[in-house]
């Protein structure tokens, strides 16, 4: 297997592209990134196919394959990306993904022969589809700051359940309602029960919330019955995206015991279109630690490698744009900024735990990280936390405020990695809008 943990020539900070927009200081998509998506020309009847972002352009991988611009493993990988989903490509494994990444990097560098120029399309001219068919979706609960804050609201006397520090907690979600950025959905309807009511009632959710999460796509799967060892997890993770796991907090409060989330979570979830590969993330791996006062992981969740480079330094931001803001041509308002490095569990631990019982993962399977809240109040990844359970309004700076989301509100999540000595790489954004309930 290719060692996608290590820096190689594709990460070289000095690399520039002949696609000049990729060289701009704040570009999400420099030549060191090269994330994958599924796209077609906007408004066309073309087949959806794989593409790679470079600056404000996209490389059409079907064009690359048709014109036989690459050879060897890179050519086989490009051919797999002609499909309407990336599942086949993801399942080929990290060697093929790495070969295609290297071929793209070399072909897009300054000084290259520009053989890819005929395969470029402007991102402003395309539309996206889900990058993979998501067969199964598991949502985790990896932020101890979020778990503690929410626990205090729901269980003041017992905010953090005793298994939290031993087990990467998760539940199996609904993959059919996951949509790509631009998704709109109707405010969910369900049962709620007011504290002073004798019986529950049915009606539109009144406490609609977003959740700031990182999405994790599985690449190569495992056979049923075979666990994935912690230090082998990188061979099975294709890459990351941004993920908004919408939540109906009033429905959740009534239904979540004893079996956990159900209608409060299954009505909509939204992913960003671009998948940043695990290899692209190599410069932003960081050490992972566990407080010495906490239980240390069981052996199957513990390794020197995981301690050394299990965490990722990914900045995550939430913005809200109300209908009034859109009508008045105002920009979305930033309401929180967090970082995935605060996660209590690592991606490798999620993979190892998910499969320790013999569960089989398949290419395109999807993990949600759980809401990524940091230790400070302004780093909260949900309105439930920012508004202290709806008790304190969030000022949007234009005369409007929110405790939870209104119809017409658009939520935008952004993510990027940036530090001295490495190229800034971004995730683009995921945007989605709340429509009125259908009643």
Q: What positions carry a catalytic annotation?
A: 146
Give a three-class secondary structure readout of 156-205. CCCCCCCCCCCCCCEEECCHHHEEECCCEEECCEEEECCCCCCCCEEEEC
Residue 101 annotated as binding site: no
* CB < 8 Å & 24+ apart, contacts of 202-207: 203/439, 204/437, 204/439, 205/248, 205/249, 205/250, 205/251, 205/437, 206/250, 206/404, 207/248, 207/249, 207/250, 207/384, 207/390, 207/403, 207/404
Helix (H, G, I), strand (E, B) or coil at 206: coil
Q: Burial code of 38-77, b = ≥16 C-beta within 10 A, e = fewer?
A: bbbeeeeeeebbbbbbbbbbbbbbbbbbeeebbeebbbbb
Spatial contact of 268 and 281, defined as CB atoms under 8 Å apart: no
Residue 256 annotated as binding site: yes
Spatial contact of 42 and 127, defined as CB atoms under 8 Å apart: yes
Residue 323 annotated as binding site: no
Residue 395 annotated as binding site: no
Residue 95 annotated as binding site: no
Chain position carrying tokens 């240390």: 296
Residue 217 annotated as binding site: no
Helix (H, G, I), strand (E, B) or coil at 363: coil
Spatial contact of 422 and 284, defined as CB atoms under 8 Å apart: yes
Which helix (H) or strand (E) is 351 found in, with range? Answer: helix 347-355
Sequence-distant (6+) residues with CB within 8 A of 19 are 31, 54, 55, 57, 108, 120
Residue 269 annotated as binding site: yes
Residue 376 annotated as binding site: no
Residue 407 annotated as binding site: no
Residue 213 annotated as binding site: yes
Q: What are the CA-CA distances from residue 155 to residues 58, 166, 296 (Å)? A: 48, 19, 25
Residue 265 annotated as binding site: yes
Binding site residue list: 139, 141, 155, 211, 213, 245, 252, 256, 265, 269, 371
Binding site residue list for Ca(2+): 139, 211, 213, 245
Binding site residue list for substrate: 141, 155, 252, 256, 371
Binding site residue list for Mg(2+): 245, 265, 269
């Amino acid at each position: 297997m290719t060692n996608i943990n290590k820096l190689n020539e594709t990460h070289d900070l000095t690399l520039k592209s002949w696609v000049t927009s990729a060289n701009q200081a704040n570009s999400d998509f420099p030549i060191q990134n090269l994330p994958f998506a599924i796209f077609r020309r906007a408004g066309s009847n073309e087949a959806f196919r794989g593409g790679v972002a470079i600056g404000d352009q996209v490389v059409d991988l079907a064009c690359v394959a048709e014109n036989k611009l690459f050879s060897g493993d890179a050519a086989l990988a490009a051919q797999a990306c002609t499909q309407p989903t990336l599942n086949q490509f993801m399942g080929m494994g990290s060697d093929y993904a790495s070969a295609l990444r290297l071929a793209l990097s070399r072909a897009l560098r300054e000084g290259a022969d520009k053989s890819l120029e005929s395969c470029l399309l402007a991102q402003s001219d395309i539309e996206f589809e889900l990058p993979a068919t998501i067969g199964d979706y598991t949502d985790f609960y990896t932020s101890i700051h979020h778990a503690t804050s929410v626990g205090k609201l729901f269980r003041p006397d017992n905010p953090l359940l005793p298994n939290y520090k031993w087990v990467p907690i998760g539940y199996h979600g609904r993959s059919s309602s996951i949509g790509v950025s631009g998704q709109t959905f109707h405010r969910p309807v369900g049962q709620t029960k007011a504290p002073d009511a004798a019986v529950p009632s049915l009606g539109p959710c009144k406490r609609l919330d977003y959740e700031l999460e990182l999405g994790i796509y599985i690449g190569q799967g495992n056979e049923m019955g075979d666990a994935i060892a912690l230090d082998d997890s990188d061979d099975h993770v294709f890459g990351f995206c941004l993920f908004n796991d919408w939540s109906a907090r009033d429905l959740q409060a009534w239904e979540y015991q004893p079996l956990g989330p159900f209608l409060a979570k299954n009505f909509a979830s939204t992913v960003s279109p671009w998948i940043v590969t695990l290899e692209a993330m190599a410069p932003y791996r960081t050490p992972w630690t566990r407080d010495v006062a906490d239980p240390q992981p069981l052996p199957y969740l513990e390794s020197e490698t995981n301690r050394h480079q299990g965490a990722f330094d990914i900045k995550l931001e939430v913005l809200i744009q109300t209908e009034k803001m859109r009508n008045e041509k105002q920009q979305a308002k930033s309401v929180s900024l967090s970082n995935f490095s605060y996660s209590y569990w690592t991606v490798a631990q999620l993979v190892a735990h998910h499969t320790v019982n013999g569960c089989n993962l398949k290419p395109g399977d999807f993990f949600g990280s759980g809401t990524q809240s940091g230790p400070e109040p302004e780093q909260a990844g949900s309105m439930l936390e920012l508004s202290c359970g709806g008790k304190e309004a969030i000022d949007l700076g234009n005369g409007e405020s929110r405790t939870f989301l209104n119809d017409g509100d658009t939520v935008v999540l952004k993510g990027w990695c940036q530090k001295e000595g490495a190229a800034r790489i971004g995730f683009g954004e995921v945007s989605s809008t709340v429509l009125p309930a259908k009643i």
